Structure 1
């Protein structure tokens, strides 16, 4: 069984939220995810901030981040600005903006984010298969560049490769499961042309990471998992979703007692770095210090 087929079977357990990911503005996305207390970008933010700070100390230049599965630029909003998910939920309040056109929402967002302080030494590129989400994130200024592409089914365009060469950090917060090692195989030749980037993935516990880890290993990476710590992604959308996820976890030999059994999808954190860098500073020391 291929990784993608295996992931598709696991994804059948999850609520289908596809309809909110390709709207012309983020209102439906945030309105629906607020109901589920979607919080993984918030929980991932301090980890990413520590990685970015360490990379700045080492590399002494603007840090370029590539966000895989970036949707409307949520991680970028949190990393570039002093914002939380609650701030974004309030900003894109569906009721308050009910009568606005998508064009009016985007213009409002452009002005709002332009008014906030933004670091001069951080640029964020986003990849997502949702063309509307990418276009919106670019128009509002959350992404410095966006690529609307599904790397599971199509190669990286030649024109995009040059722009990805400076990438210092690749991040994802929940896209593994839709994304397999195939996407990384297509990205790695582009993002490793200069210095090798660090690759930071928050992965739901029901999805195995071994195939991606093996692919990264072939490119000289050592992958570490942050043991003993999980990160809430969101609440289960239904009892049925929870029951099916618990079943998949048990099949993988993972005990959900006291974790997913309490009502939330949980992710674990994996960091892949060039072998020498991983040996120099262990993961626990890097993100928990």
Structure 2
């Protein structure tokens, strides 16, 4: 899920998410315990669906490396990374259910933030996969990205808002090694402006793997990706549940937005959950 935005954020991206419940406070903490406690009742699950997709896409992306590159592994940029959940699932022998249990149990409740951080360093190190890849995290939340960096989930972390300002020199440098961008909950909070800022500085052939709510249009982002030589595809029949609605008002807004796109919410949003589509963007030559 996307981390918090600054209070005066505005523009098309924020308007697309106007009817969606905000969880700003759970990203302004030194650790992800509040994140998992708040989202558990709503069965937030999209990172688990993304785990297998991102691992397969990463493997395909690395196999596509041009001859003569020496087999050097690419870097993944996780956009709207929050506490590094996608990185945890990509690079560790863990499920999302494991993370819910880890952060909502009685033992976690008894620990200070500092004690939890030290426990988490050991927790993730013990479960690190042999094929783990370098991950850079980008999010507006300094607290969330600092945690993910401190416990070793992210190799680099940048708390920046590319909707408003250009990327920092450090992020520009990191983008030079990025070959895959992943995102599970940020589209709609970030727009084509963020993707333009990223694409301006990538140096390797870039793939993008984005899970996008059916309530949010992706056409403008796809158009900007196309302008940078990427072709975007999706399977309109393959949907992935994100979470339960927080109440009738959020559901009514989602149903109305899905109908406005020409899609049918019957049995999906009308039955009580947000659903996403997976958009895959790759260079035309691929």
TM-score under structure 2 normalisation? 0.91
Please report how far the alpha carbon of residue 94 of structure 1 lies from its aligned counterpart in structure 2 after TM superposition.
5.3
Residue 44 (1) aligns with residue 26 (2): no
Q: For each residue in 1:22-63, what CA deviation from the matched residue of structure 2 results, as whole angstroms up to 9, or x when unmatched?
A: 211110001111111110010111111111111232323323
Deviates more, 1:155-164 or 1:35-44: 155-164
SS in 1 for 2:258: helix
**Structure 2 Cα separation of the partners of residues 10 and 207 of structure 1:** 6
Measure the CA separation in 2 of the matches of 1:35 and 1:66.
Answer: 29
CA contact (8 A) 1:23 1:133 kept: yes
- Which residue of structure 1 aligns with residue 245 of structure 2? 236
CA deviation string 1:205-263 (max 9, x = no partner): 01111111111111111111123100111111112211111112112222101111111
Q: Which residue of 1 aligns with 2:30?
A: 24
Counterpart for residue 202 of structure 1 = 211
Q: Give matches, 1:70-219, under 5 Å.
A: 70-93=81-104, 95-120=106-131, 122-191=133-202, 193=203, 195-219=204-228
Uncovered stretches (5+) of structure 1, i.e. residues with no partner: 278-289
SS at match of 1:119: coil
* CA distance in 2: counterparts of 1:199 and 1:221, whole angstroms: 9
Instruction: Give yes or no for contact 1:56–1:62 (8 Å, CA) kept in 2.
Output: yes
What corresponds to 1:271 in structure 2? 280
Contact 1:61/1:121, CA 8 A, preserved across alignment: no
What secondary structure, in the 3-state scheme, does the structure 1 residue paired with 2:136 have? strand
TM-score when normalising by structure 1: 0.90
Distance 1:72 1:175 in 2: 13
Between the aligned partners of 2:248 and 2:57, the Cα distance in structure 1 is 36
Deviation at residue 130 of structure 1 after TM alignment: 0.3
6-15 vs 31-40, which moves further:
6-15
Preserved CA contact (<8 Å) 1:62 1:121: no
Distance 1:159 1:141 in 2: 18
Further displaced range: 209-218 or 88-97: 88-97
> Structure 1 CA distance, aligned partners of 2:220 and 2:130?
35
Is the aligned partner of 1:54 residue 2:60?
A: yes
Question: Is the 2:90–2:132 Cα contact (8 Å) retained in structure 1?
Answer: no
Contact 1:28 1:94 in 2 (8 A): no
Equivalent position of 1:259 in the other structure: 268
**Count of equivalent residues:** 272
Bigger mean CA deviation after superposition, 111-120 or 19-28? 111-120
In structure 2, stretches of 5+ residues that fail to align are 1-9, 66-70
SS of structure 2 residue aligned to 1:19: helix
